[in-house]
């Protein structure tokens, strides 16, 4: 930590700030999430720090609750994608043969369909709830994690300690969680930050298109959608959530880059 570059410190600060605001949203939000407290698109003032939105709700409150929703969905979807993708990727690498081929070809089939189009088709025929969004986003992104986990595990499975575990008669579960996972953790942790960024952008895009988080619940992409018409009149309400999305993604990326550079195996591979 003493040698952490200034860019990583900045990234860690803003990442921690956003997560703390999401966790303590009910305590720090000045108004209720859907409470109408003023006129339409009121300018910033002592009463409304960021002004009001398209129907008179406090924009700062909507931003805080929107951050909570966006970060929660992105975090849970990222965890689901990594648990599913890494376990299946490790299993395919350890099993090899036709099992590996069948799983990899199925993943290739899913990856050949653009994620956004796939999500839009599914959400057009299913109820749009937070649970559905998390499961859909997590499973779609698990294909990318599967590819990374399998590629890393294939190199590890030929190591002597893995062969020794197999000769001892250890089961597949032991080999995956006790031999492969500890040695594949660093690149997976670095990749997790990048996949989290993708999740934030993904849920924001779905909400902007009207198939993500549904009103009156707030999320950053939905706030942009609700207030985009104000840009025509010089109202900056839609720019605040866009700025929040950008700064969160940049902050996570700065931290992920630092973790990637700290990973000894990757540093050696990159020269």
The predicted-structure confidence for 223-240, as pLDDT tens digits, reads as follows 999 999 998 888 889 999
Identify the band that residue 26 occupies on the pLDDT scale cut at 50, 70 and 90.
very high
pLDDT of residue 233: 87
Q: Alpha-carbon distance 169 to 136, whole Å? A: 37
Q: Is the pLDDT of residue 28 over 90?
A: yes
Using the structure block, give the residue that is written with the tokens 């689901």: 80
Q: Is the pLDDT of residue 1 over 70?
A: no
Percent of the chain with pLDDT over 70: 96
pLDDT of residue 265: 43
Q: How far apart are the first and last CA of the chain?
A: 23
pLDDT of residue 170: 75
Question: What are the residues facing 58 on neighbouring strands?
Answer: 52
10: tokens are: 């900045």
215: tokens are: 């009103």
Q: Is the pLDDT of residue 266 over 80?
A: no
pLDDT of residue 167: 77
Contact 148, 188 (CB under 8 A): yes
More confident residue, 170 or 13: 13
Q: Which of 266, 245, 244, 247 is nearest to 255 (CA)?
A: 247
163: tokens are: 């062969």
Angle subtended by helix axes 239-262 and 6-23, to nearest 10? 130
Note the CATH number of domain 67-270.
1.10.3720.10
Contacts of 184 (CB under 8 A, 6+ apart): 86, 90, 149, 152, 153, 156
63: tokens are: 């931003």
- Conformational region of residue 97, where left means phi above 0, alpha means psi within -120 to 50, and beta covers everything else: left
Q: Where are the domains of the chain?
A: 67-270
Q: Which of 219, 185, 182, 226 is nearest to 201 (CA)?
A: 219
151-198 residue pLDDT tens: 888 888 878 887 787 777 777 888 888 888 888 877 788 788 888 999
Q: How far is CA 191 from the centre of its chain?
A: 11
Most confident of 21-30, 249-258, 260-269: 21-30
Q: Is the pLDDT of residue 14 over 50?
A: yes
Q: Alpha-carbon distance 271 to 259, whole Å? A: 16
């Amino acid at each position: 930590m003493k040698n952490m570059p200034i860019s990583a410190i900045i990234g860690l600060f803003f990442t921690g700030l956003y997560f703390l605001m999401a966790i303590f949203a009910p305590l720090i939000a000045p108004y209720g999430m859907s409470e109408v407290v003023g006129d339409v698109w009121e300018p910033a003032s002592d009463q409304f720090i960021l002004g009001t939105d398209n129907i008179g709700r406090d924009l700062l409150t909507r931003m805080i609750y929107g951050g909570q929703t966006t970060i929660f969905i992105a975090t849970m979807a990222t965890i689901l994608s990594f648990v599913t993708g890494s376990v299946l990727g490790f299993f395919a690498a350890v099993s090899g043969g036709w099992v590996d081929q069948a799983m990899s070809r199925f993943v290739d089939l899913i990856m050949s369909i653009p994620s956004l189009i796939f999500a839009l088709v599914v959400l057009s025929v299913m109820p749009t709830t937070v649970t559905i969004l998390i499961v859909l986003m997590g499973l779609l992104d698990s294909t990318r994690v599967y590819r990374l986990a399998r590629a890393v595990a294939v190199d590890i499975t030929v190591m002597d300690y893995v062969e020794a575990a197999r000769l001892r008669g250890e089961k597949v579960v032991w080999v995956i969680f006790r031999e492969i996972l500890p040695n594949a953790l660093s690149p997976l942790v670095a990749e997790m930050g990048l996949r989290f960024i993708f999740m934030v952008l993904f849920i924001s895009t779905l909400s902007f298109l009207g198939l993500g988080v549904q009103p009156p619940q707030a999320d950053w992409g939905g706030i942009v959608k609700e207030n985009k018409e104000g840009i025509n009149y010089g109202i900056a309400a839609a720019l605040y959530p866009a700025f929040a999305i950008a700064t969160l993604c940049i902050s996570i990326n700065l931290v992920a880059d630092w973790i990637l550079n700290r990973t000894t195996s990757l540093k050696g591979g990159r020269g």
